[in-house]
Amino acid sequence: MGTPEFGAVILEGLLKGGYEPVLVVTETDKPVGRKQIITPPPVKIAAEKFNISIEQPEEIKNLKLKIKNLKPDLGIAAAYGKIIPKDILDIPKYGFINIHPSLLPKYRGPSPIQAAILNGDKETGVSIILMNEKMDSGDIISNSKFKIQNSNLTCTELHNKLAESGTELLLETIPKWIKGEIKPVPQDESKATYTKILTKEDGRIDWKKTAEELERRVRAFDPWPGTHTFWQAMNNEIIRVKILKARVYQSPANKTYPIGKVLVVPQNEIGVQCGEDFLVVEKLQMEGRGIMNSEEFLRGHPDFAGAILK
């Protein structure tokens, strides 16, 4: 069971490892993008490629009889995003296990990868748990740690590394779990932390934050929800500007400017005064326009320098 790209990577890894699912369960097709084109979830696309039976129920309880009749040995969930009732969790001989991209009980919930980047963590990982009816709170079967050595990793890049790590861990864990060689360990509830569903508004930049915080935000919210700010142009038009890549530039000693003020920093790049230090914007995009680097953008929009971003 799964929906986004993380689940699709796990599914393909299972198939390459010699495991053939009898059924893939994923969410219904959803409208995507500005044109709201109805699009199948990545897990469905992967399952179709391998001719695996697919179900997309509005509610998982509607599949209870079908799952029971299949008599599965093991249920596997990866980024499914819905609570599975106990009467379904109890159907497989070896239960349902879940692959979660964090070191549980840290970062339960829907956005653990983003949270690790936002908080500047030096280590994260993948956990496999025996599922229960509560969100990401089941006993831990196995985990693997991942050192974040590259402090410039975006969410997309870290996601890909954890999906690969999760696949390897799952293939190592399944045979040991089935043979009864693993004893699950309860999570320490006193150390549990939770993440939330991200919305488009989460991507709006608050320039009062430090440049370091905002740089992490740019990386954490790639590709969703992205980061953006608003610029009032010379003609008083309010323009939404996406920040796609950035870095921190320390403010010169004893020099501060109004929060959100755009300056030109060395190498003809855009620097924005934050609550502390400058955020140098390396790549940005006006709504409906192409991606530009700082120099290109300033050449086409010289009035951007000196503006106060909101």
What does the chain look like in DSSP terms, one character per residue?
A: -B-SHHHHHHHHHHHHTT---S-EE-PPPEEETTTTEEE--HHHHHHHHTT--EE--SSGGGGHHHHHHH--S-EEEES--SPPPHHHHTSSTT-EEEEESS-TTTTBSS-HHHHHHHTT-SEEEEEEEE--SSTT-SPEEEEEEEE---TT--HHHHHHHHHHHHHHHHHHHHHHHHTT----B---GGG--B-----GGGGB--TTSBHHHHHHHHHHTTTTT-EEEEEE-TT--EEEEEEEEEEEEPPPTT----TTBEEEETTTEEEEE-SBSEEEEEEEEETTS-EEEHHHHHHH-GGGTT-B--
- In a 13 Å sphere around the CA of 131, the CA atoms on its Cβ side amount to 29
Residue 251: per-residue pLDDT: 80
Count Cβ atoms within 10 A of the Cβ of residue 209 and give its class: 0-12 exposed, 13-18 middle, 19 or more buried: middle
Q: HSE (CB half, 13 Å, CA atoms) of 56?
A: 15
| pLDDT for 303 | 94
Q: What is the pLDDT of residue 4?
A: 79
**CATH architecture, domain 200-304:** Roll (3.10)
CA distances from residue 34 to 44, 200, 224, 287 in whole angstroms, order as listed: 22, 13, 14, 11
Q: Are 95 and 16 in contact (CB under 8 A)?
A: no
Pairing verdict, β 24-25 and 54-55: parallel
φ and ψ at residue 162, rounded to 5 degrees: -75, -35
**pLDDT per position as a tens digit, 140-157:** 999 999 999 888 999 999
pLDDT digits (tens, 9 = 90+) for 276-285: 999 999 999 9
Arithmetic mean of pLDDT over the chain: 95
pLDDT at 261: 97
CATH architecture of 5-191: 3-Layer(aba) Sandwich (3.40)
The rounded distance, in Å, linking the Cα atoms of 128 and 269 is 44
Domain boundaries, the chain: 5-191, 200-304
What would the mean pLDDT of 125-131 be, rounded to a whole number?
Answer: 98
Q: What is the pTM of this model?
A: 0.94
**Residue 48: partners with Cβ closer than 8 Å, 6 or more residues away:** 40, 54
* Cα(276)–Cα(189) distance, integer angstroms: 36
Maximum C-alpha span of the chain: 72
Q: What is the pLDDT of residues 233-260, one digit of tens each?
A: 988 999 999 999 999 998 876 677 999 9
Confidence of residue 1 (pLDDT cuts 50, 70, 90): confident
Residue 3, pLDDT > 80, answer no
- How far apart, in whole angstroms, are the C-alpha atoms of residue 263 and residue 232? 15
